[in-house]
Amino acid sequence: MYESANVADDADRTAFRRAEKKYKLYYEQDSKFTRKKKLPKPIDLSELLDFNLISQDYNKNGVLPDGIRVSKVDSSPVFCIENRPGFYFIPGALSLEEQCKWIKESLTNFPQPPNRTNHNAIYGPIADLFDSAKDNKVLVQEDLVNNKWKFYEEVDTVKAKQSNCKSVSASVLLRKLRWSTLGLQFDWSKRNYDVSLPHNNIPDALCQLAKTHAAIAMPDGEEFRPEGAIVNYFGIGDTLGGHLDDMEVDWSKPIVSMSLGCKAIFLLGGKSKDDPPHAMYLRSGDVVLMAGEARECFHGVPRIFTDEENAEIGALESELSHESGHFFAEYIKTSRININIRQVL
């Protein structure tokens, strides 16, 4: 998705691509350590919007930076960017308890069949991936002709290897989980929703949460209908290139985007990639809405911060460890999860 740093001059890139390159994670070339120990190249983060700090300043002094306004104040302010109508940022919208709940759901229930994930194309439906990773199981191809796979205890895979069966550990598959779909299923190969595919409904609690946050961006007199959701999973070095979410019928309805886990950089561009994007931090618990004109704006995630100093998830790790043992906390300390809820029809 990204060109190497020496392929093209900045002059050959759009403003959006230059921003992606600027904020993407690169490592020092002369590092003598392994990839896990390489030092990230320093970058200038001074131009990023930090709505957490903006919120603190606004609550204390009633002051806003140029170009930022408050759309509505309830229990906490909701911020807008004047030249990006339809974009709403709600810092710290999810409580620590809610964050823990939806992290656990995203790892255990959301990838469950019949919901589809990026693994379906190779392995078919995979049930109980998180629990299998927790138990150190291995996925083994039992039937080559019909592409049937099954989880086995690690000690049982010796026979499979002797039979030359393909296998992959559940922990590797969990780390390679990139997306899952809830409600109406999105067909990534055709870039549209396939209403004929079997699916689990979006949980009622998540629907209600989405409706509550979407209300400020809805046309007067209308209520948001959560019909489909895409859950994105990010690991170390992962990015999401500039794109549009343009497959839903009515763009006046918002996409409700919930951030969980490690802090990230979010780019909000314009209707062309030549428009300079706004760069901002996204922290665990933040909610972003994109409706109306904002649905036509390119956006992406060029970086997540997984180092202890910048990830800003100490309290979240502690709460997850206390609630559910170390496995959820170990996963999220180097990961980000993003739940995007949409009204499809």
Helix axes 204-214, 96-108, angle to 10 degrees: 130
Is residue 119 marked as binding? no
Task: List strands edge to edge, sheet with 87-90.
Answer: 68-73, 77-81, 87-90, 287-290, 255-261, 336-342, 228-234, 179-183
Do 228 and 183 form a contact (C-beta atoms < 8 A)? yes
Do 261 and 288 form a contact (C-beta atoms < 8 A)? no
DSSP state letter for 33:
S
Is residue 278 marked as binding? no
Exposure b/e, 152-183, CB count within 10 A at least 16 = b:
beeeebeebeeeebeebbbbebbbebebbbbb
Binding residues for Fe cation: 243, 245, 299
Binding-site members are 243, 245, 299
